[in-house]
Amino acid sequence: MLFWTKGYLCYEETINNMKSNYYFYLILNKLIDISRPLWGIVERKFNQKYASQPLQHQPVFIIGAPRTGSTILYQTITNELDVLYFDNLICGLKSSLMVGFWFSSMFFKNNAHNSFKSYHGNTTKFGSRAPSECGQFWYRWLPRDRHYIGDDDITETMVIDIRNEITSIINHYDKPMVFKNLNAGQRLHLLHKCFPNAKFIFIKRDPLYTAQSIILSKRRVGVKDEEFWGIKPRNFQLLSGMNPYEQIVKQIYYIEKQIEKDRTLFPRQNFLTIDYSQLGNSFKTTLNKCNGFIKAGGRTDSKHPAEIVMSETLKLDDFEIEKFTEEIQKLDWINYSN
C-alpha cells in the first residue's frame, strides 16, 4: 500500500509539473505564432535548402513493447553519444521543429543532459533538456485513438511533411537523430515510405517480467487492471474485452508480432535487437554496440553515467504469476505464428 501511495504522489507531482510546463510552452508557442510570418519565411528557406539534399544520416527509432527498458536505453544513448533527439524544450515548441531545435541549441549548447529519471517514460518534470518521446510531433499527422498505421492510412502530404522536417534537421546539424516513441513500432509502413533505410533498435524482455511491470504500472497510476493501457497493437479493440492477464500478455505479443512482420520492409542489417538483460552489467558493451549501429561520435561532457538497476524479480503473488505464465505458454514467442 505504501508503494502504491508513493507512486500516486509521484503521479500527482508529475501532473502538476506537466501543467506548469504546459502554460510555459503555451505562452512560448503563442509568441512564435505571432511572429509566424517571419519564422515561416525562415523555415521555408531552411527546409528548401536542407530537405532537398541527400539524407546525411538515417534516423534511428527505438521500438518494442512498453516496460522493456526503452526509456533508460534512450536516455543513455542520447547522453553518451553525439546524436540529435527531442528534448522537452523542442517538444514543447511543437509549432515549429526548426525553431525548437534552434532554441535548444541556443540554451543548452549541445551539452549532455545527464538526466536518467522518468515516470513511466514521461520526463516532463526532469527538465527541459531531458529526452522526450514527443508524441505531439507525430500527432500533427496521425490519430490519437489508435497506433497502428497501415498503407491505407498514409497520405502523400503526410510522408512529404515528415520526411522534409526530419531530413532538414538531420542535414543541418549533420548528426544522426534518435527517436524513442514506442508507437513507431506500429507505424513501420509509414516510416518505410518516409525513410526506406531507417534504422531500428528493437528492445525485448522476458514477457513474464514485462507483463508484471505493466500490471504494476497500471495500479500505480490508478488504471484498472482490465482497462487497456499503453501501446495499442492493430487488434487492440479485440484485446480490450479480455481478462487482464490474457489482455496484457497478448498486448505484448501482438506489438512484437507486428514489428517482426513489418521489419521485412527494411534491410536486415538496419535492425538491432537488444534484450533487457543487456542493460545490466554488460551495458557498456551494449552501448558500444548501439554506437556502432548508429555510427555517432561519443560525447566528452557526460558527467553522470546511468545507474541501471535490473529488476527481474517476481513481485506478484503465486496466483497472478501462474495466470500470466499460462497465457504466455499459449503463444509462439519465437516465430509469432499464433
- Taking only the tens of pLDDT, the chain with its 338 residues reads 223 333 333 434 443 444 445 566 566 666 666 666 667 788 889 999 999 999 999 999 999 999 999 999 999 999 999 999 999 888 887 667 888 898 899 888 888 898 888 777 777 787 888 999 999 899 999 999 999 999 999 999 999 999 999 999 999 999 999 999 999 999 999 999 999 999 999 999 999 999 999 999 999 999 999 999 999 999 999 999 899 999 999 999 999 999 999 999 999 999 999 999 888 777 888 999 999 999 987 766 666 666 676 768 999 999 999 999 999 999 999 999 98
d(CA 134, CA 64): 16
The CATH fold assigned to 2-329 is: Rossmann fold (3.40.50)
Cα-Cα-Cα-Cα dihedral sign, residues 26, 32, 33, 34: positive
Alpha helices, DSSP H, located in the chain: 2-34, 36-51, 70-80, 88-92, 97-108, 135-138, 156-173, 188-194, 207-221, 236-239, 244-262, 283-294, 318-329
Helix (H, G, I), strand (E, B) or coil at 29: helix
User: Which residue in this structure is represented by grid cell 487488434?
Assistant: 235
CA angle 53, 57, 61 (to 5 degrees): 125
Q: DSSP class of residue 52? A: T
pLDDT the model gives residue 254: 98
Place of cell 512482420: 261
What does the pLDDT read at residue 36?
Answer: 60
The set of residues, in sequence order, having a beta carbon less than 8 Å from that of 295 and lying 6+ positions away, is: 57, 176
How confident is the model at residue 269, as a pLDDT?
97
Per DSSP, 95 falls in state T
3-state secondary structure of 165: helix
Contact of 102 with 111, CB cutoff 8 Å = no
Cβ–Cβ under 8 Å, residues 247 and 239: yes
pTM over 0.75: yes
8 A C-beta contact, residue 240 and residue 228: yes
Q: Nearest Cα to 247, choosing from 235, 262, 259? A: 235
79 burial via Cβ count (<10 Å: 0-12, 13-18, 19+): buried
pLDDT in the model for residue 231: 96
